[in-house]
Structure formats: C-alpha cells, structure tokens
C-alpha cells in the first residue's frame, strides 16, 4: 500500500513542476498579458543601445516632455540628419557627433497614457564624415518600446 501512495505523490510533484515551468515559459514569451511585457521592452532597449548610432536612454511621458538620448558608437564622427520617433523628426537640422559623443533631444514626440505601454517606429539617418557614406537605420522592424511616464 505504501508503494502506491508514494508513486501517486511523486506523479503529482512532477506534474506540479511541469506546470510551473510551462507558466514561466508562457510568461517570458508574453502569452499572458502583463507578465511578459517587460521582457519585450528590455529587448527593445538593449537592441537600440547596441546600434552604431544608439538610443541609450529615452522617456516618453503623458505630459509631453519626452526625451531621447542618442550616442555615436562608431570610430568616426557622424552628421545626424534624422532622428524620427513615431514619425516625429526631433532633429532640427544636422548635428555632428564625435566618436562616443551623444545628444539629448527633448520635445513632444507622442501622446501616451501614464503607466501604459508604447511601441513606436524609429528612423535614424546619419553620414559618416570620413567616408561620406549615408546610412538609415530603422531597426529592421524593432520598435522603441517602454512604459509611458507621468
């Protein structure tokens, strides 16, 4: 009799472990609303921070005081002509950034509701000053994602 009870208990424990692992996987891939959304925003921020011309920090707020910080991760100086988020070009003219240089853009980029998630298209156009080559980075479909501030 003891063997049957032990077998049933082991089965239930293994079943519980499998269910917990499945819930964790579903949460990470975003299958349950609200559980996996942070992972998507972190992946977006990591992607944009690692680009040649990177978005190292950003804050989109309900009040319309939005901030985008870009950084030149290239070895040559660049001329930035377009910094567009949500189809709003925040670059007025052209800015020159040396290697490792950064620039902060402020203004009303998008309307959002505090504590709600956002997902915006990004376009960065720049010219390498040494080679005169012009590049446009739209992220290949990776959007700028995060949570709207107050």
Give pLDDT tens digits for 77-129.
Answer: 999 999 999 999 999 899 999 999 999 999 888 888 888 889 999 999 999 99
CA angle 45–125–107, rounded 5-degree value = 65
Rounded to the nearest 5 percent, the helix, strand and coil shares of the chain are: 30, 35, 35
Enter the pTM of the model. Answer: 0.72
Q: Nearest to residue 92, comparing CAs of 109, 73, 105, 110? A: 105
What sign does the CA torsion over 93, 78, 41, 121 have? positive
Question: In order of start, what are the domains of the chain with their CATH numbers?
Answer: 37-147 (2.60.40.10)
Listed in sequence order, the DSSP H helices in 1-150 are 2-28, 37-49
């Amino acid at each position: 009799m003891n063997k049957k009870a032990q077998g049933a208990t082991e089965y239930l424990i293994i079943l519980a472990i499998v269910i917990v692992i499945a819930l964790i996987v579903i949460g990470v891939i975003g299958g349950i609303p609200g559980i996996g959304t942070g992972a998507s925003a972190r992946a977006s921020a990591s992607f944009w921070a690692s680009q040649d011309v990177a978005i190292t920090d950003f804050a989109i707020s309900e009040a319309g005081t939005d901030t985008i910080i870009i950084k030149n991760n290239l070895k040559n100086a660049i001329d930035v002509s377009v910094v567009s988020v949500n189809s709003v070009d925040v670059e007025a003219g052209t800015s020159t950034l040396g290697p490792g240089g950064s620039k902060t853009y402020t203004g009303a980029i998008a309307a959002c509701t505090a504590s709600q998630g956002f997902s915006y298209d990004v376009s960065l156009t720049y010219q390498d000053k040494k080679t005169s080559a012009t590049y446009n980075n739209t992220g290949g479909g990776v959007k700028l994602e995060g949570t709207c501030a107050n």
